[in-house]
Structure 1
Amino acid sequence: MRILLSTYGSRGDVEPLAALGAALQAHGVEARVSAPADGEFAALLARAGLPLTPAFAPVREWAKEMINRSRSASPEDRARLISGQAAAIVASQYEALSAAAEGCDAVVAFGLFPSCAAARLVAEQRGICYMLGTFCPIWLPSPHNRPHEYPSHPLPAGVTDNRLLWDIDIRTKNALFGEAINGHRVSLGLPPVQNVRDYVYGNPVLLACDPTLGPWLPSDLIDAVQTGAFILPDERPLPDGLEAFLNAGPPPVYVGFGSISVASEAGRAAVNAIRAKGLRTVLAQGWAELAPVDDGDDCFAVGEVNQQALFGRVAAVIHHGGAGTTAAAARTGTPQVIVPQIGDQPYWARRVAELGIGAALDGPVPTAESLSAALEVALAPKVGLRAREVAGDIRADGAEAAARWLMERMGEEN
């Protein structure tokens, strides 16, 4: 059996697929991963023993361009940008995935909606199985949560019926992505679909997040198979300089915003808040290329690093609330402070606060004062105790569970 795993996104989208691919290969399934061909992802997949088949473009520069183009645009212009990019992604990603899917029996797609649409088209054209995957329950139609709000398509004020809002979500996705998807279908000699959201989602969906952190409440709008987060074991040692820094004093506070292009002021605010409490900082540079505020010996800057090895040795983790980072900190029982920016990050921030394993900032722009108050909460002994308790409930077998389920599912359909 050959399965193509497809995604277009940042490290938080690629690393879980490396874990799933490795789990599939351990069962004798040939797994291929189509992902952005950025150097960091090629190295990541090589470490997992998986071949990389490039997606339509590297993602880091593409993401920077999209951020720059949308930063000062009106909601209407941002909506047009989304639709225009969707058409380009569907067409380009369809070509990339058509080649990657050669000889495959199934396609499992994560990441951007237009990229998943291209994967669904490839599967349909080849007559092979298709499955959508996601890392957070809020993206799935459910009476228990509201849909995501898009530029120039706000959810109607005062409406609390989530079922009605998910019906509106169908119209929104048709407006934003319908022309891109159906235009490509027509070019392939296929009839248009009336509901592009449900076409891309399919049913059921693979939900790859931890049930304790992000529980799925059954929905009659869609079926989801929740397996737990896909975690790639990381045996890499920490850099010598970081080891020396960790050993030179009490546990520091980790600060990192991953692929989120936060302003440099966010890193400065975090370092100042940590320093004001007499603590040290490990500063992850990330895509924002954060740097220490001065040459003080209480701050150590690192590039990409083994979070599984590091997080258990820090006092707290300040981060953006990506699904992967949230799960990594929760697994080590380390208190968290989340500064949510976009997408599902406000959801993870809320869940961390609800579980009592950390604190969440209200809004995406941190200050030294707001971070200091959040750290006060996160560093309280009761939060540390609670974080260690919850750590025992976090599953480590999500990729294995998903691999077994996919093999059974694909076996039934073939």
Structure 2
Amino acid sequence: MMLLTAGSRGDVEPFAALARRAAAQGHEARLAVPENPGADLSGLDAVSLEVDFQRLIGTQGASPWTAVRHYRTEVGPGMRRMLSAAVRETLAYRPDVVVHHPKVLTAPAVADALGVPHVVVETVPVLTPTREFPAPGVVNRDLGPFNRWTYAVTRGAGRMFRRDIERACAQLPSFTPDSAHSAPAASLVPISPQLLPRPADWPTSAHLTGAWHDDAGAPPLDPDVLRFLRGGAYLMATFGSMAVGDPLARGRAVVEVARAHGLRTLLLTGWGGLALPDALRGDDVHVTSSVPLDAVLPGAALAVHHGGAGTVHTVARAGVPHVIVPFLADQPFWGRQLHRRGLAAAPVPRQRLTTERLTAALVEAVACAATAERVGQEIRREHGVQTALDVVLSC
């Protein structure tokens, strides 16, 4: 099988988990990923899709408006390289099934050219329409009977990149610009039903598998991180790839609130979303760019984060309550959803993040601890990767 993914670490790790499970069961699996993905790919047959999303975000930011402004110089060329590499690498591998992220828009065409099925992975549930909630990242409030209409926006992404898709697919035999592509054999949604129950109006081809967790275990922690974890109660804060706004102000708010509540702070700077002002340095704060979240979350009192789907699931699996500071895309959706399910404080939009608001959110989140632990136990019993692999192998 060929697995194609694109985006940040949260988009890569689920695919790496699926590739590792497939290989462990004797199946040939090749994983195509962005450059500098930030995920553990050890032992995997992995190739590059020739685009560095970390560099893209570093130069043009995470906002869709800045992405539009930088389309000609950064976003467009990066997408063209990725779409073309996906076709080239898949043709070279000649798999019997293609499993792909929705951003890899050339995957259906190359699967059709090879005469094999393709399976789409909705790391965020934005492709399969439902009346139960609007497409995450399209609108931020429930539209009732009109929710299904919001999914047309996400399905229209291919039109924006139509010429890039056609250029990349020129490598395919018998490709014409007006070629119709087959529908996915299945849609895999690597989300826990503990966080998002399966909508009643989804078709049978949509599989809510549970979260995809890599059972290989996290790599060893740095000794300095280990010493910090053993020093007493702490909160973990990360904003992942979200680098817009003022990272120093956010870091200041997190550390001040943690200290006011007798907590130490593990501050993960990620791709630049958090930073520590010099005046707040101390033994009760440990700053590092990244750590395996699975290894540091089980001992945390709570987690302050941006609400990306990958982080949401990792925190929930650890049984830790959330304070979600959403920036964009699906993050407000997850903030609302986890708050409704009693796992998180009401979300604090990043433009409104202050010490006062974060203090209130921390108090509310701590009250969610018992529910978070119970839900974490249920998520740890799920077999999302195996369920997904069984669906792929049946296609």
TM-score (norm 2): 0.86
Tell me the residue number matched to 1:400: 386
The Cα of 1:131 is off from its aligned counterpart by 1.1
Structure 2 letter corresponding to 1:241: D
Q: What is the deviation of 1:190?
A: 2.9
Match of 1:123 in 2: 111
Provide the C-alpha distance between the structure 2 equivalents of 1:144 and 1:81, rounded to a whole number of angstroms. 34
CA contact (8 A) 1:203 1:222 kept: no
Answer yes or no: is the 8 Å Cα contact 1:204–1:224 preserved in 2: yes
Tell me if the contact between 2:124 and 2:136 (Cα under 8 Å) persists in the aligned partners. Answer: no
What is the Cα deviation at residue 212 of structure 1? 1.1
Percent identical across equivalent pairs? 30
- In the alignment, which residue of structure 1 is the partner of 2:359? 372
Which residue of 157, 175, 179 corresponds with 1:190? Answer: 175
User: Compared with structure 1, are the counterparts of its residues 82 and 110 closer, same or farther at alpha carbon in structure 2 (3 Å cutoff)?
Assistant: farther
Alignment of 1:11-410 (within 5 A): 11-38=9-36, 40-41=38-39, 44-46=40-42, 49-67=43-61, 77-78=68-69, 81=71, 85=75, 89-90=79-80, 92-101=82-91, 102-110=93-101, 112=103, 115=104, 117-147=105-135, 161-167=146-152, 172-173=156-157, 175-182=159-166, 190-193=175-178, 199=181, 202-219=184-201, 223-233=205-215, 234-249=217-232, 251-262=233-244, 263-264=246-247, 265-288=249-272, 290-293=274-277, 294-365=280-351, 366-380=353-367, 383-394=368-379, 395-409=381-395
2-structure distance, mates of 1:347, 1:176: 24
Distance 1:148 1:90, change over 3 A: farther
Higher helix share: 1
Name the aligned partner's letter for residue 161 of structure 2.
Answer: F
- 1:322-341 deviation per Cα after TM superposition (whole angstroms, max 9, x unaligned): 11211111112111111111
Contact 1:332–1:388 at 8 Å: present in 2 too?
A: yes
Deviations, residues 205-254 of structure 1 (Å, cap 9, x unaligned): 111111111222133578311211111132433322222222223x1111
Q: So what's the TM-score if we normalise by structure 1? A: 0.82
Structure 2, unpaired ranges of 5+: none
Question: Contact 2:238–2:273 at 8 Å: present in 1 too?
Answer: no
Q: In the alignment, residue 225 of structure 1 is paired with which amino acid? A: H
How many angstroms apart in 2 are the aligned matches of 1:236 and 1:149?
33
The letter for the 2-side match of 1:407 is: L
Q: Secondary structure at the match of 1:393?
A: helix
Tell me how far apart the structure 2 counterparts of residues 338 and 69 of structure 1 sit (CA, whole Å).
18
Question: Any idea what the Cα deviations from partners look like across 1:44-66, whole Å, max 9, x if unmatched?
Answer: 111xx202200122221122233
- Tell me, yes or no, if the aligned pair for 1:139 and 1:148 is still in contact at 8 Å: no
> What letter matches 2:355 in structure 1?
A
Q: What is the root-mean-square deviation in Å for CA atoms of aligned residues?
A: 3.1
